[in-house]
Amino acid sequence: MSSLDELKGLIRLHVATQSVNQQEFLAVLDDVQHEPGAGEGSWVGEWCRLGERLVARGELIEAVQAFNFARFPCVDGPERQAALERCLAVFESFRERECPDARRIEVDCGGVKVPLYVRGEPGPGVPLVVVMGGIVSLKEQWYRTLIDGPKLGFAVAVADFPGVGENALRFDRDSCAYLGSILDHFEQQTAELRAIVVAISFSGQLALRQAARDRRIRGVITSGAPLRHFFTDSAWFRSVPETTKRTLLKICACSRDELFGRLAELAIDEDELERIAVPVHTIVSLRDDIVPLADARYLAEHVRGLSTLELDDIHGAPHFVGAVRKYIALGLVRIGFPNRRWLARVLGALVQIELWKAGFRRFVGRGLAAVPPGELAASRPRAVIEGRVRS
């Protein structure tokens, strides 16, 4: 498979998780003929053209997603840098129009200023939710948490992973200190800071490592987090998509020859996991093609108080977006407001409904158009996709 074909396949999966006109977005892939440059037929050029059409129609958050795809998977040259800057500018217009009380701040992380979006003020009765995506997603993609988090009673801070978007930090063994710096900033504003970290994919590594040492973190919610085996199993790493390796090279700021050695330094030790004394909710994709299932088993073996949602899907669970969102909300309520048992019961029921809906879509043959042929060829035969919660 060529690198361009791999990019197109990944974008098909990402489109399936977004609230956009999927037909319009997927049509762009037919117009992309090559990756370099920003002219007609190029990756950046075609996505940016869609973005400008959406801006002209006033569909700002959809345009943000188009410009995000233009810089996907990472900024590696002036064309993608320009696409990122346009993405940020359009998001600012969206924020001012749709969520004007969300504010943009900068947090000092060891002398590096890292921008965040924040809504609400944490305090004794208001937990802080820190939301961070993985190595290919921008903080701007998590705009819904800025809108919905305060409705559940939380203050929200949305951040980029090290090396991603506007975050100039490097991904290394000490990256969990970045989360500590974010909490330091908010601790100055309240006498009692209670934080929950929602950490998707690679950011789960940061959240769990910091939770082992930071009393301010009262819970972690993560999905598809690499912990040990991803970083140390050379045979598995050879099978990892080239797009993932390309992005890791950028955020680790190292050469290809150095990459696997650098990654080995990031593995979380057993004693670190065993020091985690707060609730951890995790989402496991049983067919994860990036992070080995051995890491999910490693987490289960060494973390007490673990709740797991298992999904028969690939990395990121693109066919279970509704269930994943409801499960994250359920985890937030369980950790942040344990006395709201009625709300937890409602959210738990909604998770089950979303699981049933996803299974029905698979059963009737819908919802698969975004998946390249062969992606799910190894699926076990069943009428309804499994989704189960283990506590």
pLDDT digits (tens, 9 = 90+) for 67-98: 999 999 999 999 999 999 999 999 999 999 99
Q: What is the mean pLDDT of the chain?
A: 90
> Contact 109/140 with Cβ under 8 angstroms?
no
pLDDT at 229: 97
Strand (E) or helix (H) holding 119: strand 112-119
Among the residue ranges 81-95, 108-122, 267-281, 304-318, the one predicted with the least confidence is 304-318
- The pTM for the full model equals 0.91
- What CATH superfamily is the domain 102-390? Alpha/Beta hydrolase fold, catalytic domain (3.40.50.1820)
**Residue 317 pLDDT > 70, yes or no?**
yes
- Tokens 């943000």 locate to 64
Question: Helix (H, G, I), strand (E, B), or coil: what is residue 13?
Answer: helix
Question: Could you tell me how far CA 293 lies from the centroid of its own chain?
Answer: 18
Would you state the structure tokens that stand for residue 13, as one six-digit string?
């999966």
> Contact 290/263 with Cβ under 8 angstroms?
no
Domain ranges of the chain: 3-93, 102-390
End-to-end CA distance of the chain: 40
Q: Who wins on pLDDT, 368 or 117?
A: 117
What is the CB neighbour count within 10 angstroms for residue 11? Answer: 21
Provide the β-strand partners of residue 113.
108
Torsion sign across C-alpha atoms 338, 343, 349, 353: negative
Would you state the structure tokens that stand for residue 282, as one six-digit string?
């995790």
- Tokens 């085996």 locate to 229
Would you state the structure tokens that stand for residue 284, as one six-digit string?
């496991």
- Distance in angstroms (rounded) separating the CA atoms of residues 388 and 59: 36
- Tokens 């696409």 locate to 83
- Span 203-225, mean pLDDT? 97
- Distance in angstroms (rounded) separating the CA atoms of residues 78 and 243: 19
Crossing angle for the helix pair 22-31 and 3-16, to the nearest 10 degrees? 170
> Pick from 22, 44, 23, 48: which is nearest to 34 by CA?
44
Provide the β-strand partners of residue 389.
309
For residue 176, the one-letter residue type is C
Which residue intervals of the chain are DSSP H helices? Answer: 3-16, 22-31, 43-56, 60-71, 78-98, 143-148, 176-187, 203-211, 229-232, 234-239, 242-252, 256-264, 270-274, 293-302, 321-336, 341-363
Q: 34-74: per-residue pLDDT in tens?
A: 999 999 999 999 999 999 999 999 999 999 999 999 999 99
For residue 260, the one-letter residue type is F
Please state whether beta strands 306-311 and 280-285 pair in parallel, antiparallel, or not at all (unpaired): parallel
- Distance in angstroms (rounded) separating the CA atoms of residues 109 and 260: 26
Would you state the structure tokens that stand for residue 125, as one six-digit string?
């009765």
> Contact 115/88 with Cβ under 8 angstroms?
no
> Pick from 46, 162, 150, 140: which is nearest to 95 by CA?
140
For residue 172, the one-letter residue type is D
- Distance in angstroms (rounded) separating the CA atoms of residues 55 and 86: 11
Q: 225-253: per-residue pLDDT in tens?
A: 999 999 999 999 999 999 999 999 999 99
Please state whether beta strands 128-132 and 112-119 pair in parallel, antiparallel, or not at all (unpaired): unpaired
How sure is the predictor about 17, in pLDDT bands with cuts at 50, 70 and 90? confident
